[in-house]
Amino acid sequence: MEESAETKQCFVCQSSGEDRVLLACEQKGEAKWVCVRCLPPLIHEMDGGRH
Ligand SMILES: [Zn+2]
């Protein structure tokens, strides 16, 4: 087991994973973390509003 020295942080709201769940994701080939509260808006955004 190897702990990364990097602090996990939501790339949207910069919240640490201590008070909410963080999910691993990738943006433009970069590994990132996003918290569950910021994920729904992101999904919405990627939808392109084509409704
Ligand atoms: Zn967040």
Tens-place pLDDT, residues 6-45: 678 999 999 998 888 999 999 899 999 999 999 998 888 7
Ligand 1 centre to CA of 25 (Å) is: 12
Enclosing domain of residue 22: 11-51
pLDDT confidence of residue 50: 61
Residue 6 lies in a domain: no
pLDDT at 3 over 70: no
Taking the alpha carbons of 23, 24, 26, 27 in that order, is the dihedral positive or negative? positive
Instruction: Choose between 4 and 24: higher pLDDT.
Output: 24
pTM: 0.69
Distance CA 8, CA 34 (A): 9
Ligand 1 centre to CA of 8 (Å) is: 11
**Which of 16, 18, 22 lies closest to 37, judged by CA?**
22
Residue 1 lies in a domain: no
- pLDDT-derived band at 47 (thresholds 50, 70, 90) equals confident
Distance CA 29, CA 4 (A): 19
Ligand 1 centre to CA of 33 (Å) is: 8
Distance CA 35, CA 17 (A): 7
* Domain count for the chain: 1
Asked whether 36 and 23 are in contact (CB, 8 A), the reply is yes
Ligand 1 centre to CA of 28 (Å) is: 18
Residue 51 lies in a domain: yes
Residue 3 lies in a domain: no
